[in-house]
């Protein structure tokens, strides 16, 4: 039989399921980002109807957890460490693009115009949220710059307050080094996530990058 979540627009039932196992699954799904009780219930019932699909999903999660790691050199999400970009002979080691999150690398790689390498900060400075310079890998960035003889650093950070704060901080700590420091031109939406910027906009912002 099919487990019917009820009419499309129906409210999620207020009570709990008779099955403690199902109730536990719904509660666990509810902890995922962006899922309320109603969506969690719909997904749980979908799993009961599609047992093979549910098995594939749990297998995919386990496989990803067992194989995915972050590159210790650049912070990209990868299965090989160091990652393919860090070890590629055709990528310029002396040009480094600094991004906030590993997903910010994706639009660059999709657009395929950038031939340097990356460094992922893993966050942005945000004094209000308690993210201070000591919490981000600036020292590792400096070592990377020294080790690879980096001559050009491009900041590809969001134009949010946090992105601006981080760019100014990097300008301060990199300013005295003998390297070219630039940032993407405006064109990246204000407060918008870089990862969702389209290729044409990104390439234009890159080509018109400005020095400090």
Give the binding site for Zn ion (CB under 5 A).
71, 73-74, 76, 82-83, 86
Pick between residue 117 and residue 209 the one whose CB is nearest to Zn ion.
117
CB 151 within 8 A of CB 95: yes
Q: How far is the CB of 204 from Zn ion (least distance, A)?
A: 26
Pick between residue 73 and residue 183 the one whose CB is nearest to Zn ion.
73
Q: How far is the CB of 73 from Zn ion (least distance, A)?
A: 4
The C-alpha atoms of residue 140 and residue 179 are separated, in whole angstroms, by 17
Q: How far is the CB of 87 from Zn ion (least distance, A)?
A: 8
Compute the Cα dihedral for 20, 26, 30, 33 and give only its sign.
Answer: positive
What does DSSP assign to residue 126? B
Pick between residue 82 and residue 122 the one whose CB is nearest to Zn ion.
82
The C-alpha atoms of residue 111 and residue 96 are separated, in whole angstroms, by 17
The C-alpha atoms of residue 85 and residue 92 are separated, in whole angstroms, by 10
Q: How far is the CB of 82 from Zn ion (least distance, A)?
A: 5
Where do we find the tokens 């536990």? 24
Pick between residue 71 and residue 156 the one whose CB is nearest to Zn ion.
71
């Amino acid at each position: 039989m099919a487990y019917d979540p009820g009419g499309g627009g129906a409210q999620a039932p207020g009570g709990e399921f008779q099955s403690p196992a199902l109730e536990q699954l719904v509660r666990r799904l509810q902890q995922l980002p962006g899922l309320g009780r109603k969506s969690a219930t719909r997904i749980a019932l979908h799993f009961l109807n599609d047992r093979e699909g549910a098995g594939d999903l749990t297998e995919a999660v386990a496989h990803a957890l067992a194989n995915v790691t972050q590159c210790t050199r650049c912070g990209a999400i990868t299965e090989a460490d160091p990652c393919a970009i860090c070890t590629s002979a055709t990528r310029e080691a002396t040009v480094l693009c600094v991004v906030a999150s590993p997903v910010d690398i994706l639009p660059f790689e999709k657009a395929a115009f950038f031939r340097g390498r990356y460094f992922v900060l893993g966050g942005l400075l945000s004094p209000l949220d308690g993210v201070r310079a000591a919490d981000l890998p600036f020292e590792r960035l400096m070592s990377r710059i020294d080790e690879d003889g980096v001559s050009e650093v491009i900041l590809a950070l969001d134009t949010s307050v946090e992105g601006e704060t981080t760019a100014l901080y990097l300008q301060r700590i990199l300013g005295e080094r003998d390297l070219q420091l630039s940032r993407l031109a405006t064109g990246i939406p204000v407060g918008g996530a870089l990862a969702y910027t389209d290729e044409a906009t990104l390439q234009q912002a890159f080509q018109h990058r400005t020095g400090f």
